[in-house]
Structure 1
Amino acid sequence: MNEDSVEAERNPDPNISIYIDRPPIEEKCLKGILRPGALIRIKAAQKMGKTLLLEKLLEHARQQGYQTAKLDLKLADKSTLNDLKSFLQWLCIDVSDILDKPPNLDEYWQDSLGLNTSCTRYFQRYLLANTDKPIVLAIDNFERLFQCENIFPEFCLLLRSWYETAKQGDRMGKIWRKLRLVVVNSTELYPTLDINRSPFNVGLAVELPEFNQNQVQELVKKYELDRQLGEQDIIELMGLVGGHPYLLQEAISSLGSQEISLKELINLAPTVQGIFSYHLGQQLESLQNDSQLEVAYKQVVNADRPVRLDQKITFKLHSLGLVKILRNDCVPSCNLYRQYFSEFLG
């Protein structure tokens, strides 16, 4: 299922994701993007709807006449992430392309000024000064940079400096107030930054929660299955997958498009014959690729009480959507994961 799909009003198509509002998050974001010089940070575990919320936000901005440029760091190749200069020049070129402006590094990029200053100069003189319309720069999957020691701290400083410059009352501030920043990342623990050099302690921060029962009922209505799935059915389904948006949508779309009952779906769910088999297999592979994560999660799913883990491992498991954090301890994020992984991790 494609998390990048846009919101639909009535949508029985199982291949298209539906965004369900989780108030007051959406209203905060839609209002926030209208503020000059805004910085919005959207955080959640994998497959919680971050990208769908981002698309909703960008569409709202376009309706206001704003220009939008979305960069997905998953699409950046290794050579782009190899050093700061390559990354910042990729940023400048990609944003220029999206805004239908020919890249112009030759005129505005000066190595002698420093890399961050050159990038700032490009945005200020070429992209921002020549437009009356605000520009929304959205960076999805920002966690890709967490492991890039040559890029992450300097790029974070750059974003913070743009945000702070927009507060100035001079001509520079007026130019930079045209830029609105949106940063989207998982809940993985990011490297420590100086509080004065970080974009993660300023602006508007939102974290997407799971669906509650009313929101699941709204999702059922979107699929026009409200006559088929009553309140007790929803309770049973949530007993398996909790309020996890992706798992719920997989289940509900399958019930609408396949000849399968809720009872059959629940019984087969933690097996290779179930509708979640591909997703569960991907999660299993993620664990098996990191022996520390595998050992830790095996401990979590086989325990009858919350488990205290190393902080870094806790945040990695949470980023994958595999655990909920209760104070400082971990529990499986849903019964489906407990059943499946207690079997396949032994």
Structure 2
Amino acid sequence: MSEKNYYKVGGSLEYQHPTYVVRNADSDLYQGLLNGEFCYVLNSRQMGKSSLRVQMTKKLKAQGVKCATIDMTRIGSHVTPEEWYGGLVSELLRGFRLSRKINFSNWWRDREVLSPVQRLSEFIDDVLLIELSETIVIFIDEIDSIIKIPFRDDFFALLRACYNQRVDNSDYQRLTFCLLGVATPSDLIASRTLSTPFNIGTAIELSGFNLDEVSPLVQGLETIVSHPRQVIAEVLEWTGGQPFLTQKLCKLIVQESESHTLKSSNGIEALVRENIIENWETADEPEHLRTIRDRIKWSQRQKPLLLIYQQILHQGEVKAKDTPEQMELRLSGLVVKQQGKLRVANRIYQAVFNNNWVDEILVEANLHQKKTPLLTQSPIEIQRFNQIAARALQLADRALALFAKQEIKALLLAMKAGQALYSLVQDNCCLENYPTVRPVLALQTILDHIRERNEFKAHQYGVNNISFSSDGQNLVTAGLDGTVLLWNQSGQQIAQLELPKPGVRSVTFSPDNQHIATAGEDGKIRLWHLFGQQIAEFNTHQVGISCVTFSPNGQYLAMAGDSFVMICNLSGQLLVQLDRQFFNVSITRTQIKLPVTWFNVSFSANGQRITAVNENGMIKVWDLSGLQLDQWKGETGITSLNFSPDGQRVATVNENSIINKLLGKLGLKKLLWIYLRFIKRYSK
């Protein structure tokens, strides 16, 4: 290979490319995958992740390991679960060269009764682990493209399930995964409660080149410069070992040598400034610096990222804390973590993304503050200043610790910390004069991640039932104190429904959100206008209504309670009595009939079916005429149930589990087969 084409700028390096630099990550990843560990390489762009994958794939194959790579960008992010999981299976068939053995279309279609994630699970279980007897490694590249997929948590749960299966099925010990991309585990996992694969996996640190590793790069300069190792050392001084920049600067040196030989570090500095730093936005080809700029500029956390980076520029470093903001800043590539500190990654970045650049972005985003020095303070003022600053820090730390359990209270604490800090600096102080930025970052962190939007005390003795309007603008609550209150989404009380005691057990909005139905212990249904005026009341002649719900067209009400499930119209006329159940109890040889309580009732989306569950876990399904279509015994303690949108499944919920019952064309043996496979794979 000629010196002119020796270095490669941009793109993955081919296996055994002469400029491939072996780093600690190579041995860490190789050994981890051979040992069957779940590994992930999450780092900024153009750090050599894909080149590392190429090298690992070849090395592992040489050891008899079966490897396949899925590039997630090939599947896309604007797809349905069916298309997305189907794409994964198709890519795996192609990657492991099984397409001629397995007809994808037929295989996928034959399992339409399963959810897409279950089909992928079955493919791993019944195809990969059967057809391939060797160790299997699946590389999933560009994993960050999954962030836009709303159902991604199911995929990561499956990866964790594959790991858990190793205890019961030794074949799974032959299977492992390696994820690569520009993301953090918290970016990839949407649910806070999901048992993720990352807490049992191995993170592979991919750092920049150091001088002891770069002999392949030195060789490309041996016929170009007098002291190639010294020149490479100067290159690393500018690039910090960043792979893309290092390759680019080496290539520039080769090109420059065609006109004259570089003899000093001054020549390299001139080369860097002329070809990389000056007019960098137009000279940045292939694109690298503009990628970093855009990642900061268009981030949803733009302000805290700029604040942290500005602090690093002023101080030289800040303590690394692995907050979401710091992790995102590191993923941009702009800063690196070294010895527990965050520092600017290299001299080129520091020259390009300097204070002037930060100020321009701040001004552009209307975030800039005028710089003025703090006023001269007396010793007493300084003491008070330090006390308030310490208090602000304490409040910020308490807010972050509390956030996982009580979001609103944590937000209020963070605001209090920010107010304390603001009392010290007022309107005319820039960030560099703040005694600490931790309260600012704590507040920004909470604002970025808060899901709980409001908290208010609705009733004196607790809430018995609650219902949101379908447009999300209002909610109605039924209290244990016998009151029913209507609220807007800001927590402002709109109306109180005047109800006689005893209390209300169930409240619900009509589909058009214009009416509310209430029901409870007195056996009466009451209909109300949205703002609290009662428009109808009728007696069901039953005692203890547990649940009332509107049909999807708003024309009927279904109710369930002590011994009954029934449907009536909005005038109170009974249309269908679906079920009446009692059980016998012997007390001193006397048989007494006690009612069986039905807890919950629900319409299907098309309004043609109704399902209900009672206290014994019995679930029944009827049509509107009252004909019973199905019944089955679920677990005791089920308190709620609902149809799937297509009306083919009923999800039932209790304190311990969610169980799906498939309706329609499935026979008992098929249902049992699905249930056993589900339990086998996911019960761990």
- TM range, normalised to the smaller chain? 0.7 to 0.9
> Is 1:86 the counterpart of 2:96 in the alignment?
no
> Is 1:53 the counterpart of 2:52 in the alignment?
yes
Task: Say whether the 8 Å CA contact 2:73–2:142 is kept in structure 1.
Answer: yes
Where is the strand percentage greater, Structure 1 or Structure 2?
A: 2
Superposed CA RMSD: 3.2
Higher deviation after alignment, 210-219 or 84-93: 210-219
Q: Which of 309, 314, 327 is residue 300 of structure 1 equivalent to?
A: 309
The corresponding residue for 2:11 is 3
Task: Say whether the 8 Å CA contact 1:40–1:205 is kept in structure 2.
Answer: yes
> Is 1:162 the counterpart of 2:162 in the alignment?
yes
1:149 Cα shift? Answer: 3.0
The corresponding residue for 1:264 is 270
Task: Say whether the 8 Å CA contact 1:217–1:226 is kept in structure 2.
Answer: no
The corresponding residue for 2:39 is 40
1:32 Cα shift? Answer: 3.0
Find the aligned partners of 2:164 and 2:23 in 1 and give their Cα distance: 30
Which runs of 5 or more residues in structure 1 are unaligned?
A: 11-17
1:226 Cα shift? Answer: 8.1
1:72 Cα shift? Answer: 1.3
Q: Which of 234, 237, 250 is residue 236 of structure 1 equivalent to?
A: 234
> Is 1:197 the counterpart of 2:195 in the alignment?
yes
The corresponding residue for 1:332 is 344
**Structure 1 segment 28-177 matched on structure 2, within 5 A:** 28-35=28-35, 37-80=36-79, 83-102=80-99, 103-104=103-104, 106-107=106-107, 110-151=111-152, 153-168=153-168, 172-174=169-171, 176-177=172-173
1:143 Cα shift? Answer: 2.0
Classify the secondary structure of the residue corresponding to 1:304.
Answer: helix
Task: Say whether the 8 Å CA contact 1:72–1:141 is kept in structure 2.
Answer: yes
Find the aligned partners of 1:32 and 1:173 in 2 and give their Cα distance: 18
Find the aligned partners of 2:297 and 2:26 in 1 and give their Cα distance: 36
Q: Which has the higher contact order (CA 8 A, sep 6+)?
A: 1
Which runs of 5 or more residues in structure 2 are unaligned?
A: 1-8, 263-267, 361-684
CA change 1:331–1:163 in 2 (3 A) is same
Amino acid across the alignment from 1:207: E
Find the aligned partners of 1:264 and 1:133 in 2 and give their Cα distance: 54
Extract structure 1 runs of 4+ deviating beyond 6 A. Answer: none
Amino acid across the alignment from 1:106: N
1:225 Cα shift? Answer: 5.8
Question: Residues 7-53 of structure 1: CA distance to partner in whole angstroms, max 9, x if unpaired?
Answer: 4353xxxxxxx321123x32232233333x54222232221111111
Classify the secondary structure of the residue corresponding to 2:234.
Answer: helix
CA change 1:187–1:113 in 2 (3 A) is closer
Find the aligned partners of 1:50 and 1:195 in 2 and give their Cα distance: 29
Find the aligned partners of 1:337 and 1:298 in 2 and give their Cα distance: 17
Find the aligned partners of 2:298 and 2:202 in 1 and give their Cα distance: 35
Higher deviation after alignment, 86-95 or 184-193: 184-193
Find the aligned partners of 1:207 and 1:178 in 2 and give their Cα distance: 24
1:322 Cα shift? Answer: 0.9
Higher deviation after alignment, 41-50 or 195-204: 195-204
Task: Say whether the 8 Å CA contact 1:220–1:252 is kept in structure 2.
Answer: no
1:54 Cα shift? Answer: 1.0
**Structure 1 segment 314-333 matched on structure 2, within 5 A:** 314-325=326-337, 330-333=342-345
Task: Say whether the 8 Å CA contact 1:301–1:341 is kept in structure 2.
Answer: no
Higher-Rg member (1/2): 2
Classify the secondary structure of the residue corresponding to 1:253.
Answer: helix
Classify the secondary structure of the residue corresponding to 1:54.
Answer: helix
Find the aligned partners of 1:236 and 1:192 in 2 and give their Cα distance: 43
Where is the helix percentage greater, Structure 1 or Structure 2?
A: 1
> Is 1:26 the counterpart of 2:26 in the alignment?
yes
Task: Say whether the 8 Å CA contact 1:74–1:144 is kept in structure 2.
Answer: yes
How many residue pairs match? The answer is 330
1:105 Cα shift? Answer: 5.0
Task: Say whether the 8 Å CA contact 1:70–1:138 is kept in structure 2.
Answer: yes
Find the aligned partners of 1:291 and 1:38 in 2 and give their Cα distance: 34
Amino acid across the alignment from 2:119: S
TM-score (norm 2): 0.44
1:317 Cα shift? Answer: 2.1
Amino acid across the alignment from 1:304: H
Q: What is the aligned-residue identity percentage?
A: 18
Question: Residues 126-153 of structure 1: CA distance to partner in whole angstroms, max 9, x if unpaired?
Answer: 23212323332110121222343322x1
Find the aligned partners of 2:341 and 2:191 in 1 and give their Cα distance: 25
Find the aligned partners of 2:127 and 2:118 in 1 and give their Cα distance: 13
Amino acid across the alignment from 2:212: N
Classify the secondary structure of the residue corresponding to 1:45.
Answer: coil
Question: Residues 51-101 of structure 1: CA distance to partner in whole angstroms, max 9, x if unpaired?
Answer: 111111111122123332111123332333xx4332211100111122232
Find the aligned partners of 1:180 and 1:292 in 2 and give their Cα distance: 34
